[in-house]
Chains A and B, each alone.
Chain A
């Protein structure tokens, strides 16, 4: 044998005391449901990354707008369409240089056209590059890409717009984080509606069953049968387009998915023996619902909420993008993307930053929800 040389002395052993009570002892440490779930979640790298990204975005949404001196609705016609400039991060391309494509009979004439057209003094021209030689198609004009240092050219040597400005000269940094606030508010609202209306409606429908359940489920079917967009348009007709209309549209239709899930779970649980036991002890319906049924559905509720939040955020962005959502000067990620979309070839930074933020929000919520599903309901893991 391989470990023959290892001598095990007798004093390394200790006899176990034999008694009747020992059989009933539990040696495992006490772990509550939530602690156990947290241990599982912590092992999931994706979910933790999502969580960190979300915490960062929430933090920035709260702190971002007050990090500089610009207000989100402060117009400045001196500083329109400025590209991002951050002191110290010039090497990253955040140097406030703006490129335009200009045309002229000669390269020099093209640049001259550009400088007068954009009202920039020649000394701020940094570089120029011929993009296209003259051909028949472009009237024998040269196309030249010229890059200028736009901040001093506009006399804004002292200013730094971290994410640039839009066509009214409003600071995009402030507007983006303000818009993120709106998105997060919509997400929070959707979660709240899900948790309150959805859970109670589904719980009552499933628990009482029979005719009540039948009636309540038909109402849900009618509500889900109406397209969301129709509800929003109706809300806009009655109210002004804006956050209130979206809130109402979400309140009317947003909770049906949750109600169905909770109903299904409650239907499954309500005939379990522990519920019968509670009834024989004299529990009333409220107690059974709140103490026995809902706690056993919390995992599903949280998971479903986490999936509802990103879809609600996207719903708002979509509405804003097609012009049914928030109205200027209020910013939301959807309206920012909408207005940047008109000129994204010339001013791509206007589109890129809100697009990145909304993508991070969606991905963050989704992978965190995925991780939570595994952590809270290990049986559902594939």
Chain B
């Protein structure tokens, strides 16, 4: 893992108008950096804005405010067609629902080769077929599957087709939007291991969105915890698990079950009450310890520092 920043998100905001006067602040000013070659985990409860963050970064939604820089270049705002195409190649996405993410009227070959055709990466049909076969092999499927339709595959197989589609354009950065939450546990491990292996082979960088903390810990180098459109804590994954500071992170961690009866009998689940916070000032994102950031007020900041020193 290098210290080179691949993606810089600064004060990103995404507000949706739901009526004439009501606005949903799905993302409310978040900032983080993702380094080249790392896996950045993004966790949080349902509806806290994780998926919206991913989709806004890849420009499926137009951001209300804020910057997203990819390799030092701003990727939002008006862009020329060729710039956009370049950006589309560099950044790809794996989707949550393997049943909804593949067009039921297209064969696997058509699905995987769509990116190849859009970006003109193959000269003729022979090269296209060859590339599709290679990609299928990369994700552990047979080349005989190329002419089949998606409904013939299982959830895990479909998710791997989705991964092959994303890989077809040789991306550097992949946003994995809860890629395993719709799969059963044995298949989850298969897909996560495939993602890890691909990262090693191709030097990919991931933004891994999930709500399953144990899986996120397994795959991520750094983890950000989101709550109601804000990142409340950001740290290396080991640090976050060892020293959770924000009460919401603590609550999340206390909810992880372990297959250990002794531990389970004594596990105390702490609940999170947003009213417990210090309300004397607007909380800010502060670095409590190198590389460990928490959303807190000055008072809380001092308290957290003391807590870490103990």
Chain B interface residue count, Cβ-Cβ cutoff 8 angstroms: 38
CB pair B149 A282 closer than 8 Å: no
Chain B 136-160: CB-based contact to A (< 8 A → 1; otherwise 0): 0000111011011100110001000
Which stretch in A26-34, A153-161, A347-355, A365-373 binds the other chain?
A26-34
CB pair B88 A281 closer than 8 Å: yes
Q: Decide if A272 is an interface residue (CB 8 Å cutoff).
A: yes
Given contacts A273-B101, A282-B118, A283-B118, 9 further A-B contacts (CB under 8 A): A24-B142, A26-B145, A276-B55, A278-B114, A281-B88, A282-B85, A283-B114, A291-B103, A298-B105
What class of interface size applies to chain A in its complex with B?
Answer: 20 to 34
* Given A280-B58, A282-B89, A292-B103; A30-B147 close (CB under 8 Å): yes
Name 6 A/B residue pairs within 8 A (Cβ), A-sorted.
A24-B157, A272-B101, A280-B91, A280-B93, A283-B118, A295-B103
Q: Decide if A215 is an interface residue (CB 8 Å cutoff).
A: no
Interface residues of A in 26-54 (CB under 8 A from B): 26, 28, 30, 32-33
Residues of B within 8 Å of A278, CB to CB, are: 103, 114
Interface residues of B in 152-183 (CB under 8 A from A): 152-153, 157, 162, 165, 169
A-B contact count (CB 8 A): 77
* Given A282-B115, A283-B118, A292-B103; A277-B93 close (CB under 8 Å): yes
**Which chain A residue has the least Cβ–Cβ distance from B103?**
A274
Q: Which of B60, B96, B147 has the most CB of A within 10 A?
A: B60
CB pair A280 B92 closer than 8 Å: yes
Q: Decide if A345 is an interface residue (CB 8 Å cutoff).
A: no
* Given A273-B96, A292-B103; A30-B88 close (CB under 8 Å): no
A306 to B91, CA, bound (A): 44
* Given A21-B142, A32-B149; A296-B115 close (CB under 8 Å): no
A121 to B89, CA, bound (A): 93
Residues of B within 8 Å of A21, CB to CB, are: 142
Q: Decide if B65 is an interface residue (CB 8 Å cutoff).
A: no
Chain A 245-274: CB-based contact to B (< 8 A → 1; otherwise 0): 000000000000000000000000000111
A25 to B140, CA, bound (A): 11
Q: Which of B60, B100, B162, B169 is A279 in contact with, Cβ under 8 Å?
A: B60
**Which chain A residue has the least Cβ–Cβ distance from B141?**
A24
CB pair B101 A274 closer than 8 Å: yes
CB pair B148 A26 closer than 8 Å: yes
Q: Decide if B257 is an interface residue (CB 8 Å cutoff).
A: no
Q: Which of B88, B102, B141, B145 is A280 in contact with, Cβ under 8 Å?
A: B88
Residues of A within 8 Å of B8, CB to CB, are: none
* Given A280-B60, A281-B115, A282-B85; A273-B100 close (CB under 8 Å): yes
A281 to B60, CA, bound (A): 11
CB pair B96 A30 closer than 8 Å: no
CB pair A277 B85 closer than 8 Å: no
Residues of A within 8 Å of B149, CB to CB, are: 32-33
A278 to B305, CA, bound (A): 47
A32 to B148, CA, bound (A): 8
CB pair A273 B97 closer than 8 Å: yes
- Chain B nearest Cβ from A317, distance in angstroms: 37
A358 to B196, CA, bound (A): 67
A279 to B58, CA, bound (A): 10
CB pair B95 A277 closer than 8 Å: yes
A208 to B212, CA, bound (A): 35
